[in-house]
Amino acid sequence: MFHPTVFDNIKIAFENQIYDYDNLDGILIVTDRADLLNLALMSREFSLSFRLAGSSNVTSQVVLLSSVKELSDEILETPGSDPGCGLVLRFYMEIRNVDVQCAAAQRILSSIWGPDVQPVQSLTYRYGQEDGTCNNCIELKFNRQITEEQMEDIPHLLEFLVQSAEELEDIY
């Protein structure tokens, strides 16, 4: 019989809440889902991407990460370990005015998530592109592991994620 890991349980909790926001509440539309196993590193990555219903400028993404160490600590019940997984939130958007829009995104996300989760913005553009737009990938990395003890916080975290996407839509 398969025994789900902490990673699996947290993944299912995120999936259930996000798909409820899509199918039941109509708040958002899921646009992509990936559940990857890296056999070279024996690591796992799960991501779920979505856009707010009626919006098309910002794509949000929840990413869960787990390494072989976390998995082995859980399976072997390593003393002193607290099995969990990493959490990263990403926002993808096109911007035209780098200085203004990046500064606004930084302010918005810092005010919502506080000083412990600092946004990192990475800009890319296509050489020769005439319209002067850049793709902005904004990443919020959590400095600690997410464990099953935080599962009841997932609805609140997703509320902040949706709020972040709404406010980022406003700066487009």
At 40-98, the pLDDT tens digits run 988 999 999 999 999 889 999 999 999 988 888 888 888 888 888 999 999 999 999 99
CA–CA dist 94, 59 (Å, integer): 10
CA–CA dist 96, 141 (Å, integer): 25
pLDDT band at 1 (very low <50, low <70, confident <90, very high): very low
More confident residue, 102 or 128: 102
For the residues 106-130, what does the mean pLDDT come to? 92
**Does pLDDT of 163 surpass 50?**
yes
pLDDT of residue 111: 96
Nearest to 104 by CA among 58, 172, 51: 172
The residues, any chain, with a CB within 8 Å of residue 67's CB and separated by 6 or more, are 41, 42, 43
User: Do 162 and 28 meet the contact criterion of CB atoms below 8 Å apart?
Assistant: yes
pLDDT of residue 110: 96
Task: At 41, list the tokens.
Answer: 């590193």
More confident residue, 3 or 49: 49
**Does pLDDT of 132 surpass 90?**
no
Strand order in the sheet with 86-95: 28-38, 43-52, 58-66, 86-95, 134-141, 120-124
pLDDT tens per residue across span 12-36: 999 999 999 999 999 999 999 999 9
Residue ranges of the domains in the chain?
6-170
